[in-house]
Structure 1
């Protein structure tokens, strides 16, 4: 975990302080804690406090499988993501690589 290194913490201490287990039905996944408004614990008005070490989930957004599924889901996500349609253009290969890495992300069985 790059964030653990970035913050100079031990893995267990980082998990205890900044993470929670999320039940996704058939499995549980370790996730960053969110604020009451659902923002990431590391998000502030100045941006991401761990930007250089942000996880793949953050680096690859909005190119998540359920968002890029079709033009309708992409359009729907654009209503809440001000960055869609702006900034760097990513190749189909790069996006596919992110999708594959996310798919291969180890799951923690419940």
Structure 2
């Protein structure tokens, strides 16, 4: 049986964005009073990465959150966000499985709603 081979070749912009984040992080550390900041710029993608969270916070109050409990936008009726954005902070471990589980949960709710609408 054949085995899939996946090859990742980063675009120069991927590396540029990484350098940008490193520079901004160093600025934050220096502004906070760090006395020694060492910037280490990647020259390739190694599998290590940062997992952004909280950009589309999930909650009950549209004044303090972007998404409801079902990850649907408060202000856009058919927009769902199922990446790391709904979570206010990162966990102590890789969030991939949590993100996948949440995406599955949201997809099931979307599908159930469509099924109900088609029967009505």
Q: TM-score with structure 1 length normalisation?
A: 0.24
The structure having more radius of gyration, on CA atoms, is: 2
Structure number with the higher strand fraction is: 1
Q: TM-score with structure 2 length normalisation?
A: 0.22
Structure with bigger RCO (C-alpha 8 Å, 6+ apart): 1
